[in-house]
Chain A
């Protein structure tokens, strides 16, 4: 039972490049979300999904796209990376009735 798996762990991009951060969970959780962590800011919600085919915006969605075609996977896409997107990204999941988020180990992204 791997829990929440994020890949890659580290990534360096140039401004304007695109990439996808992968997130997969094997707990059959309906709810999945993406947070970013910046110094002094805590974790801020980017996008979330309450089930396959359903996504919605969080607090800081600009510059990011998501889709949820399966229960297990919730990728985060950066279409045109900007230096302001340099951050640590965490994927989390939760069961439909649970109030406890399970987090992946994070992706450290640097945009030059």
Chain B
């Protein structure tokens, strides 16, 4: 049973509009969350993170929101650009070290 879920396998958005990628988790012990972006034939690259003591973290065009009571986080990209087209992974850590549980990913396509 997946502890980290990304229920939308794919998402298409027009350039300049907002992209919202969602992630749900089941383990209430998760205390730190990351978003990674992956281009084809490359390794995942870090995008943004959030600690469970916060409900929002912003970095340029990227904002992550955390709703602990709903065990839900989302990544907002505003404005979306064609270069944002990639697979986005949500990852969560359960309290120690650097072992993360990853979701299955959402493929974002930003259309010009």
Interface residue ranges, A against B (CB under 8 Å): 4, 6, 31, 33, 35, 40-45, 48, 50, 58-59, 90, 92, 94, 98-106
Given A42-B4, A48-B98, A103-B45, 15 more pairs with CB closer than 8 A: A31-B97, A33-B99, A42-B2, A42-B6, A42-B103, A42-B105, A58-B99, A90-B43, A94-B98, A99-B93, A99-B98, A101-B46, A103-B36, A103-B43, A106-B41
B86-112 interface mask toward A, CB cutoff 8 Å, 1 = contact, 0 = none? 000101010001111111110000000
Q: Is B20 an interface residue (CB 8 A)?
A: no
Cβ of B34 and Cβ of A104 under 8 Å apart? no
A-B CB contacts (within 8 Å), total count:
62
Q: List B58-112 residues whose CB lies under 8 Å from chain A.
A: 89, 91, 93, 97-105
B23-42 interface mask toward A, CB cutoff 8 Å, 1 = contact, 0 = none? 00000000010101000011
Cα–Cα, bound, A68→B43 (Å)? 22
Cβ of A4 and Cβ of B34 under 8 Å apart? no
Chain B residues bordering chain A, tally (CB within 8 A):
26
Most buried by A among B4, B49, B105: B105
Closest A residue to B43 by beta carbon equals: A103
Q: List 13 A-B contacts (CB under 8 A).
A: A6-B43, A33-B98, A40-B104, A42-B89, A48-B97, A48-B99, A58-B99, A59-B101, A99-B32, A101-B46, A103-B36, A104-B43, A105-B43
